[in-house]
């Protein structure tokens, strides 16, 4: 039986797309069974529709309390029976309830070489601006396990890219994103091979 992946996304979904492409090429032996989006009308949802993957929006503002939101998210995840949950640009902190329910089954991709430039406030273009401001010669991306400490779970894989003297945050972001699109599918396949008989 193929491993079941659920992807969570908040944005354009290019990493999600990279995973789908790798599955199509036979490089990842799995199927994406559901996309959970944190808001409507995002690129990730369009990509799910094009690939005939069921998607659902679970948005905090539609719920009266944090608890009802967390339970709805938990229900969506549980009913998909995932072997692996992939946060691919999901801009919402995963509730502890969910981390505990899916221990060692949730991974995230972050656009820096963690532990550098991770944690609160380091998301999107802000990460790359900070890397350039700090004068770093090297950046990259990290796939890590999601634990209760934000951006601090065990590192599973990293890929490095150079920071060029002429770089703007946008150029660097593009170079890192290209590296993400290779690293994420590769790491997923490694995890699935090691975890699932
Ligand atoms: C990526 O840079 C990822 O590292 C970060 O959010 C971005 C998502 O981009 N967590 P996309 O939606 O996959 O294009």
Ligand 1, residue 180: give the atom nearest the CA.
4
- For the record, the structure tokens of 73 come out as 């998210």
Report pLDDT for 150: 85
How far is residue 9's CA from residue 149's CA, in Å, rounded to a whole number? 20
Q: Whose CA is nearest to atom 9 of ligand 1?
A: 89
The one-character DSSP state at 164 is P
Contact criterion met (CB below 8 Å) for 18 and 29: no
- For the record, the structure tokens of 74 come out as 């938990």
Contact criterion met (CB below 8 Å) for 9 and 89: yes
Q: Is it the case that residue 73 has pLDDT exceeding 50? A: yes
Q: Is it the case that residue 195 has pLDDT exceeding 70? A: no
Spacing, Cα 80 to ligand 1 middle (Å): 23
How many helices, marked H, and strands, marked E, lie in the chain?
6, 7
**Cβ 13 under 6 angstroms from ligand 1:** yes
Query: What amino acid positions are annotated as catalytic residues?
Result: 110
Band (pLDDT 50/70/90 cuts) for residue 197 is: very low
Share of the chain above pLDDT 70, in %: 98
Any bridge partners for residue 37, and if so which?
A: 9, 57
Q: Is it the case that residue 189 has pLDDT exceeding 80? A: yes
Condensed to tens digits (0 to 9), the pLDDT of residues 99-137 reads: 999 999 999 999 999 999 999 899 999 999 999 999 999
Condensed to tens digits (0 to 9), the pLDDT of residues 7-48 reads: 999 999 999 999 999 999 999 999 999 999 999 999 999 999
- What is the pTM assigned to this prediction? 0.97
41 φ/ψ sector (left φ>0, alpha ψ -120 to 50, else beta): left
**Cβ 153 under 6 angstroms from ligand 1:** no
Residue 167 phi, psi (nearest 5): -65, 140
Ligand 1, residue 88: give the atom nearest the CA.
13
């Amino acid at each position: 039986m193929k491993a079941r992946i659920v992807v969570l996304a908040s944005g354009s979904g290019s990493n999600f797309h990279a995973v789908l492409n790798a599955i199509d090429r036979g490089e990842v032996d799995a199927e994406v069974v559901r996309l959970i989006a944190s808001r409507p009308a995002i690129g990730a949802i369009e990509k799910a529709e094009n690939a005939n993957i069921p998607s659902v929006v679970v948005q905090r503002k539609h719920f009266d309390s944090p608890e009802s939101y967390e339970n709805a998210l938990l229900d969506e995840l549980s009913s998909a029976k995932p072997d692996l949950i992939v946060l691919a640009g999901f801009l919402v902190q995963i509730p502890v309830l969910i981390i505990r329910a899916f221990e060692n089954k949730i991974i995230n991709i972050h656009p820096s070489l963690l532990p550098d430039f991770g944690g609160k406030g380091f998301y999107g273009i802000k990460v790359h601006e900070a890397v350039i401001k700090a004068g770093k010669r090297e950046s990259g991306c990290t796939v890590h396990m999601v634990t209760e400490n934000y951006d601090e779970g065990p590192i599973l894989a990293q890929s490095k890219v150079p920071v060029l003297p002429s770089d703007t945050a946008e150029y660097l972001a593009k170079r890192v994103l290209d590296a993400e699109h290779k690293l994420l599918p590769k790491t997923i396949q490694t995890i699935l091979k090691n975890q699932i008989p």
